[in-house]
Homo-oligomer: A and B are copies of this chain.
Amino acid sequence: MKDSISIHAAPKPSGSNKKLERCTPKQERSRAIVNAIKQAGLLILKEDGPSKLTTTRISDRAGVSVGSLYRYFSSKEEVVAAIYEEQTKDDLAFVERVTPWFDALKKMPLEVGIRKIIECSIERHRSMMSLHGEVYLKSHRDYSLGSQLSSSLLTTTIRDFLECNRDSLLINDLDKTAFLIARGLSGMLRMTLDEEPGYIKDDSFVEELVLLFTRYLCAETGYKHSIEAEMKPKGCPDWIDAAI
């Protein structure tokens, strides 16, 4: 956490932080209060869990009055949103700063690198879910790093990583493969957060994802194209027709 927080620079998911927009904390004191509230909220979430989060507890722990809290946040949900925004901003700044991590990735053997990419994505979702699962599952799209990273840094890095391992790869198109790993994985995880959030916490799901991508990259399939099935139901839409 930083000592002072620039409220203006924080990403603003739709519908949240109306109070923050109205009441711009231009002075050092305002910023310190907002910062203290966010830090207090974060500590309560980490130490006591979301069920213990109330505006009274947050303001107590931050050492400010409940009235002060309500000057900047209309509800505890807005405090949680601000904590997620802050976390996302910090994570984004970190990822864009740490070239050593990206350099390390390039030097990794293929499966190790792929595993790191998948584990990092999953671990970030786990870490965010552990703060306030209910809020995160509803709003995880607002706190995605991949869609905010400058000029598709992730896809480019993964493309470079694949390029370094070119000889081991059984793929045709580095750009499409890098996109599938960088962004396709992210799409899969978003869908999993929406429909099977339990899988995110399940290590055997991570193993399935590692298998999916490592086999794609460097495995030969025993299967060859087979005869097409002839069956075609009556009155089928164009898109089924085209696919059968």
User: Contact residues of A with B, CB < 8 Å?
Assistant: 90-91, 94, 98, 100-101, 104, 107-112, 116, 119-120, 123-124, 126-127, 147, 168, 171-173, 176-177, 179-180, 183-184, 186-192, 195-196, 199, 204-205, 207-209, 211-216, 218-229, 231, 233, 235-240, 242-244
The answer on a CB contact under 8 Å between A100 and B240 is no
* A168 to B91 Cα, complex, angstroms: 42
- 20 CB contacts below 8 A, A to B, read A91-B237, A94-B240, A98-B236, A101-B244, A104-B229, A109-B226, A112-B225, A116-B244, A127-B237, A127-B242, A172-B208, A176-B199, A179-B192, A179-B196, A180-B208, A187-B190, A212-B212, A212-B216, A218-B222, A219-B222
* A219 to B188 Cα, complex, angstroms: 21
* A191 to B188 Cα, complex, angstroms: 9
The answer on a CB contact under 8 Å between B172 and A204 is yes
* Residues of chain B within 8 A of A216, CB atoms compared: 211-212, 215-216
* A209 to B184 Cα, complex, angstroms: 10
Query: Which residue from B101, B176, B219, B226 sits with its C-beta under 8 Å from A220?
Result: B219
Closest residue on chain B to residue A183 by CB atoms: B191
* A238 to B191 Cα, complex, angstroms: 23
* Residues of chain B within 8 A of A240, CB atoms compared: 94, 98, 101, 120, 123
Closest residue on chain B to residue A186 by CB atoms: B191
Closest residue on chain B to residue A127 by CB atoms: B239
CB proximity of A80 to chain B, nearest CB, Å: 18
CB proximity of A44 to chain B, nearest CB, Å: 18
* A244 to B199 Cα, complex, angstroms: 21
* Residues of chain B within 8 A of A236, CB atoms compared: 94, 98, 101
* A192 to B176 Cα, complex, angstroms: 10
* A207 to B199 Cα, complex, angstroms: 27
Contact status of A237 and B190, CB under 8 A, knowing A123-B243, A215-B216, A215-B219: no
The 5 A-B residue pairs with the shortest CB-CB distance in the complex, in nearest-first order: A187-B191, A219-B219, A123-B239, A187-B187, A119-B243
The answer on a CB contact under 8 Å between A116 and B187 is no
* Residues of chain B within 8 A of A215, CB atoms compared: 215-216, 219-221
CB proximity of A190 to chain B, nearest CB, Å: 6
